Each structure stands twice: as structure tokens, then as C-alpha cells.
Amino acid sequence: MCRLRFVLHAVFVLLLFSFLQNVCAQENLITSEYAYRHYTTDDGLPSYSLETIYQDSRGFIWVGCTSGIARYDGFTFHRYMEGEFSNIVRISENSQHEIIAYGLNLNTIDRNTDTVRSRKFPKGYYVYKNNHGDFPASYFLLNK
């Protein structure tokens, strides 16, 4: 009788642990819904030194680097005019859905024609990231 009680108790404990293991395994599925991947220059990034990231109205991810700008479509990076786009510190989108890349020049990317128009700032002016405590960190400054 005592032996039967011990066996039933052991079976109950094993079933309890089995149930708890399944519950914990299901919880791990919920917390791992996002996948992460590390991208390098071998994947198409212009450089390892990223300055800014922007998602446009079409869902593309734009990456501004110290040596260029790239558009990521979820599979591959498409680079735009490496070397001529030096030190991109901010990316935005205008009302015509063109991508604006701010750096040493003001660069406009027309996504319909896949062309780039680059305009120089007035001599002595440039855009840089704000490190000044009096302005919000999201502000960029045009300085002479």
C-alpha cells in the first residue's frame, strides 16, 4: 500500500514537471518573435560607422554612414554614390517622397528615377549632429 502511494506520488510529480516544462516552452515562443541579424560591409553597408537610420513612407530603411548612404529593402542594400555622400548625419523625406540626405552637401534622391541631385551648402556652412545641451538631441545644426 505504501509502495503504491509512492508510485502514484512519483507519477504525479513527473506529470506536474512535464506540464510546467510545456508551459515554459510556450512562453519562450512568445518572447522570441523578433529575429536579429548583424549586417556588415560584406552585406552592402557603405561603412561600419553609421550616423543615422530612417524608415521612409514605403517601408524602406535608409542608412546614413560616414562614407555614403544605402537603402535596405529587407533583403539587400542598394548603395547611392559612395564617396560623394560623405558623412550623412540625417535622412528625411519631403512631400514629393524624395529622400533628403544631409551632410556636407544637401542630397536629394528621386526614387522614381533612382537619381541623385547634390547641392552644396553656401561656402563655410555644414550640417552636424547636435551635441549642445540647450537643444534637443534630435536637432541638427547648420553652422558656419
Q: Could you state, in order of their start, the residue ranges of all structural domains in the chain?
A: 1-36, 41-143
- What pLDDT does residue 96 have? 85
Whether the predicted model's global pTM rises above the 0.85 cut: no
In Å, how far are 24, 28, 47, 96 from 32, measured between CA atoms? Answer: 13, 6, 29, 38
pLDDT bracket for residue 37 (50, 70, 90): confident
Over residues 90-96, the mean pLDDT reads: 87
* Whole-angstrom distance, CA of residue 80 vs CA of residue 116: 8
pLDDT tens-place string over residues 116-125: 888 877 776 6
